[in-house]
Amino acid sequence: MPELPEVETVARGLQMTVAGRRIVSVTLGKTDFIDDPSALETHLPGQSIERVERFGKFMLVRLRKEAASSTDVAGDSLLVHLGMTGHLSPHPVSEPPLKHTHVRFLLDDGRELRYTDARRFGRMAFLPAEKLPTELKRFGADPLEISEKDFVELLQFHKSRIKALLLDQSALRGVGNIYADESLWRSRIHPMRIAAKLSGQDARALRKNLQAVLREAIALRGSSIIDFLDADGEPGEYQRRHRAYGREGKPCYRCKTPIRRVIVAGRSSYFCPRCQPVPRIGRKRAIRRKTVTAKRGRTS
Ligand SMILES: [Zn+2]
């Protein structure tokens, strides 16, 4: 599932290659991942792609009507979520479409912006200007923009496990399993620790490391785990830098202890049992249990 760095990579690529182009027509194939397919056919032709931006884990293709002046604040948008296997990239119209091409936007320069998606876990929706704020309101802060004060407060107000909070899109938008695990490993924080119980120092370190991990991943055009490709059809490179994610049983880069996997919030979480010690409460309970067992052992 593409996370913030992968989506940012695709959005930047599209911004460079298709911004400013006008959509001439829309051709649809399978449409079960599109909110209201006919809205795309009705509203997109004639509109220009003003810019392509990332919002959390999805892209917003900002549109502009031919007649609209540049002072118009908000126009319509096309929301695109790449799901597991979605690709959105421009192709010469003469090039035969790949298998699983479900949406084709003919552009005014003779190219086609094509959406291919083998598994169709993605989502596409036409959002008129007036509906956009409601759609975006459900999402939390951008992890690259959140201030230190806001991040520390966010953690203080959540009694969920830190890994679950990082994945919660209504708290922070754009972080998924890979970058949550990587930033927790870098911060030496166990994924099961309670967010509200982290020290201010830990919280500040986590924000700093999360931002560093995301920026480094963007610089390497994201992680290619299944078949992520950027808008030019190139895979990302950040998977080579993973220190925790997907490394169960392999030695920790810091202390050589084998990386372990635990399920938190229904997701696999990779961590170093030595660098990222278990939450203190869990440890106390474990010690208490051990003591009880030992006492029982003595009396029986
Ligand atoms: Zn370690």
pLDDT(118) > 60? yes
The confidence band for 299, taking pLDDT boundaries of 50, 70 and 90, is very low
Per-residue pLDDT at 14: 96
CB atoms within 10 A of CB 212: 13
pTM of the model: 0.88
The confidence band for 47, taking pLDDT boundaries of 50, 70 and 90, is very high
HSE value, Cβ hemisphere, 13 Å, CA-based, for 122: 30
Distance 26 CA to ligand 1 centre (A): 52
Whether 65 is a known active-site residue: answer: no
d(CA 36, CA 33): 9
- Active-site residue identified among 8, 37, 50, 57: 57
Per-residue pLDDT at 300: 34
Question: Between 278 and 250, whose confidence is greater?
Answer: 250
Using an 8 Å Cβ cutoff, are 25 and 106 in contact?
yes
Tell me the torsion sign for CA atoms 287, 291, 296, 298.
positive
Per-residue pLDDT at 298: 43
Distance (Å) of CA 59 to CA 56, 62, 85, 112: 8, 9, 15, 18
Distance 188 CA to ligand 1 centre (A): 8
pLDDT(284) > 90? no
pLDDT per position as a tens digit, 150-205: 999 999 999 999 999 999 999 999 999 999 999 999 999 999 999 999 999 999 99
Token reading at 9: 């990579």
Whether 95 is a known active-site residue: answer: no
Distance 273 CA to ligand 1 centre (A): 7
Q: What is the mean pLDDT of residues 17-39?
A: 97
pLDDT per position as a tens digit, 55-106: 999 999 999 987 666 555 579 999 999 998 899 999 999 999 999 999 999 9
pLDDT per position as a tens digit, 133-157: 999 999 999 999 999 999 999 999 9
HSE value, Cβ hemisphere, 13 Å, CA-based, for 264: 26
Distance 147 CA to ligand 1 centre (A): 29
Per-residue pLDDT at 279: 73
The confidence band for 290, taking pLDDT boundaries of 50, 70 and 90, is low
Query: Got the DSSP string for the chain?
Result: ---HHHHHHHHHHHHHHHTTPBEEEEEES--TTBS-HHHHHHHSTT-EEEEEEEETTEEEEEEE-TT--TT-----EEEEE-TTTEEEEEEETTSPPPTTEEEEEEETTSEEEEEEESS---EEEEE-TTTHHHHHHTS-B-TTT--HHHHHHHHHT--SBHHHHHH-TTTBSS--HHHHHHHHHHHT--TTSBGGGS-HHHHHHHHHHHHHHHHHHHHTT---SSS---TTS----GGGG-SSTT-TTSBPTTT-PBPEEEEETTEEEEE-TTTSPPPHHHHHHHHHHHHHHHHHHHH-
Using an 8 Å Cβ cutoff, are 4 and 174 in contact?
yes
Per-residue pLDDT at 239: 87
**Average pLDDT along the chain:** 90
Whether 57 is a known active-site residue: answer: yes
Using an 8 Å Cβ cutoff, are 222 and 6 in contact?
yes
Whether 267 is a known active-site residue: answer: yes
Percentage of the chain with pLDDT > 70? 89
Distance 50 CA to ligand 1 centre (A): 46
The confidence band for 226, taking pLDDT boundaries of 50, 70 and 90, is low
Per-residue pLDDT at 236: 86
Using left for φ > 0, alpha for ψ between -120 and 50, and beta otherwise, residue 292 falls in alpha
